[in-house]
Each structure stands twice: as structure tokens, then as C-alpha cells.
Structure 1
Amino acid sequence: MKPYHAIPIHDNGEPLVPLPLDQLAVRQPHPYAALGAPYGGQSPYRLRRSVGQALLLAQAHLQEQRPGWRLQIFDAYRPVAVQQFMVDYTLQQQQQAWGWCNPLTAEQRRQLLEQVYRFWAPPSADPSSPPPHSTGAAVDITLVDAQGQPVAMGTAIDELSPRSDPDYFAASKDAQEQQWHCDRTLLNQAMEPAGFRRHPQEWWHFSLGDQLWAWLQRQDTGDPHIIARYGPVTELTTSV
């Protein structure tokens, strides 16, 4: 369980809709779909309607500072089945990176789960504790420049390391690392005025209206009454 799972959810029933891919940059092919993640034939580039609208507002803020730059969507709505697939895949990749063979000891499995769940939300089917991406209110995002080239941000999205912390390079004296920090800050400065909140451990992850968003809002404002307005996506919130 994550600390934000204690936040109540009162879903407003807003539908999940396709993102305007003619206006936003996207990763193609979709990185998880390319691995075989089970999206059930549906586009992974979908979000709750107001969240998608807020992305366009965030991009407008970005272009005030960097004309021609765009937000690039790495991942958006993620069904719980996809969350499970990616957690299993990441556990396997991390185990291989550490050189651990099966069967794992109890301590090895504990360490592996601790490392992966530091970044990945548990693939819970409990409606009171959905993964942020499974609400349609979270997005993984980066920047592309006016030539359509990805902007270097210091790590790849999903890197399981302390370098993924948004402020990891803040105190660096290295010119390249200073630039990475500036561009991470630029991304956050575009997203926050549109209502998004950044994940404390991931420079690329932003939420608007889910439990993580509400928890971060409570931390900043001290208001204990802020709740989530998006829970797990259901048939009623899936736009045809």
C-alpha cells in the first residue's frame, strides 16, 4: 500500500477519451504495447476528458517558454492487467540485472519487490486503491524540441535508480547535469499551472485528480478534505 491509498475517492464519472494525437507528440510504437502488454485492442493513448484538456493547456504553457516544443506522451491510461504485466516484466528485468537465479530466497524476493514497488504502483484490483495510471488521470511524459527531437532529461523514463528523482541533479556543478535539471524543471513548470502534480520520485509522472494528486495537494495546502475525483476506470467511464 502507498500512503496516498488512504485518500477517499468520489469518482465524478468523467469518460475516458482518446488524446488529440495530432496536437501532442507520442512515442511510437507505444513502449508497453510493443512488449506485448494486454491493452485488449484499445489505444493506450487515452485519459479522462478533463485531464486530456489540461495537457493541451500545459503544452501552451511550455510553448510560451520554448516556441515549437511539445509534450511527448510516453504512457497514459493503463488497465490493471497492463500494470500487472509491466510489474512482472520489471521484476524479471531487475532480477536479471542483479544476476539472481531462481529460486529466489525470501530475502532476495523482498529486496526485489522493494526496488520495483518504489517506482511501480501495485497492480491492485481493489477499487479503493487503484494504480494511478488505471484511473485515467496519470500520464508519463517528456519533452521534444522544435525539430521534434527528444530532449535529454538525465535518465530514461522508468529507470529504477535514484537519478529518476526530479531534483537529483539540482546541486550538480556539471554543465550537462545542470541542463537536465533545468529541463526537468521546465516540464514541471508547464504541467503545474495546468493542475498537474509531479510524482515525488519520478520526473516523468504527473497526476491530475487521482489519489496521488489529492495526497500531494493535502501535503502542500494542509487541507485534509481534498479527495480524489477519479477512481478505477469502469464501463461507465469508458468512451466508445
Structure 2
Amino acid sequence: MRPYHQIPIFECGEPIIAIPLELFAVESPHPYEKLGAPYGDRSPYYLRQSVIENLLQAQNYLNLLHPNWHIQIFDAYRPIAVQQFMVDYSFAQAVQDRELTNVELSPNQRQEIWEAVYAIWAAPSLDEKTPPPHSTGGAVDVTLVDDTGKIVNMGSPIDEMSERSHPDYYANSDRSQTQKYHVHRQLLQDVMLKAGFQRNPREWWHFCFGDQMWAWLNNQSNPANPVTAHYGRLP
């Protein structure tokens, strides 16, 4: 259970629609599709209608500050089967990175790796009260692309399972290069929050609107006006 799972969901029935990719930057083919994630007849580049409208606002805010820069859509809607695939993939990758094999893992090693995986990845829950954020169509993973078409360096890649993923990891750095990473992360946060999103406290790239995490973060910062989630898990 995550803290935001306490938030009740009152599904509003808003449709999930295609992201107008021509207005954003996008990685093609999709990074998880390249790994073999089972999207079936679903597209990863879909979101709830209001989430897309907010993304367009964020893109407009970005252009006021940096003409010809773009928000890059890394990942959006994620069926439960894809969530399960990526959790399993990340566990296997972490085992490989430690130069181990699954059969030789000690119970403590196995637990440590699973804790690292679930620090980044939501559990692929089928419980309608605890949906993974991306499975609601209300969460999106994004970064920035500059006016030369180059991905802006944020100091760590999306999905990295380390403390470098924490949004403020470089906040107190005294090195000019790493200070730039924090400035870039702040820019991304500023344009997204101005458009109504909330940012995952553990991931600089993950933003949400309308789901449980969004409601929980709103309520943390504005307890006098609590809100509930209006996006649940999509079928």
C-alpha cells in the first residue's frame, strides 16, 4: 500500500484518447514496446482527455520560457499487463546488474532488489481501489527537448532505480554541471505544476492529474480543500 491508496476513487468516465504527438517530442518506437511489453491492441500514447489538455497548457508555458523547446512524452497509459511486464523486467535487470542469477539470490538479496523495484514501480494491482497510476490514464512520464532537438540532461535517466531519481537530488550541489540538472528538473516541474499536474515525490519525470497520487499530493499541500480521485483503473 502507498499513502495515496487511502484516497477514494469516484470514476468520472472521461474517455482516454490519443495524444497529439505532433505537438510534442516522442521516442519512437516506444521504449517499453522495444522491450516486448504486451500492449496488445492498446497504444501507450493515450491519456485521459483532460490530462492531454493540461499537457498542451504545459507545452505552451514551456514555449513562453524557451521558444521551440518541447515536452517529450516518454510513457503514458500503461495496461496492468505492461505494468507487470516492466516490474518483472526491472527485477531481472537489477539481478543482472549485480552480476547474480535468480537461483543464487539469498532471501535478503531478493528482498533488497524487490524493495528497489517497488521504490520506482507501482505494484501491478488488479484491485480497483489500488490501481497503478499509469493504468488510470492520469499519469505521464516526461522530459524536455531543447531547440536543437536534443534531450535535456536531467542528471539521471527515466526509470533509474537510485536516489538520483529523487527530484531534489541535485538541489544542494556545489558543482555547476549538477546545478544545471536541478535547474532543468525545476523547469519541468514548474511548467507541469502550472498546468495542474502534481509530481511524484520520488521521480523527477512522473506527473499526474486526476488519479489517487494527484489527489493525495493536492491534499498534502492544501488540506483545507481536500479532493478525491476521479480516474480509476481503465478496463
* Same fold, judged at TM 0.5 (above): yes
- How far residue 101 of structure 1 moved from its aligned partner, in angstroms, is 2.5
Which residue of structure 2 aligns with residue 29 of structure 1?
29
Structure 2, unpaired ranges of 5+: none
Which residue of structure 1 aligns with residue 72 of structure 2?
72
Which residue of structure 2 aligns with residue 226 of structure 1?
227
Which residue of structure 1 aligns with residue 153 of structure 2?
152
Post-superposition CA distance 1:19-60 (Å, at most 9, x none)? 001111111110000100011132210000000110000010
* Partner Cα separation in structure 1 for residue 85 and residue 62 of structure 2: 33
CA contact (8 A) 2:218 2:226 kept: no
Post-superposition CA distance 1:164-193 (Å, at most 9, x none)? 111110111111101110010000010001
- How far residue 226 of structure 1 moved from its aligned partner, in angstroms, is 1.4
Post-superposition CA distance 1:137-188 (Å, at most 9, x none)? 0000000011211111100100111011111101111111011100100000
- How far residue 224 of structure 1 moved from its aligned partner, in angstroms, is 7.0
- How far residue 102 of structure 1 moved from its aligned partner, in angstroms, is 2.8
Which residue of structure 2 aligns with residue 38 of structure 1?
38
Q: Equivalent residues in 2 for 1:172-211 (5 A)?
A: 172-211=173-212
Which residue of structure 1 aligns with residue 89 of structure 2?
89
CA contact (8 A) 2:95 2:102 kept: no
Which residue of structure 2 aligns with residue 106 of structure 1?
107
TM-score (norm 2): 0.97
- How far residue 223 of structure 1 moved from its aligned partner, in angstroms, is 3.8
Count of residues in Structure 1 that have an aligned counterpart in Structure 2 = 234
Which residue of structure 1 aligns with residue 218 of structure 2?
217
Structure 1, unpaired ranges of 5+: 235-240
Q: 1:126 to 1:224 in 2, by over 3 A?
A: farther
1:143 partnered with 2:144:
yes
User: Residue 130 of structure 1 aligns to which amino acid in structure 2?
Assistant: P
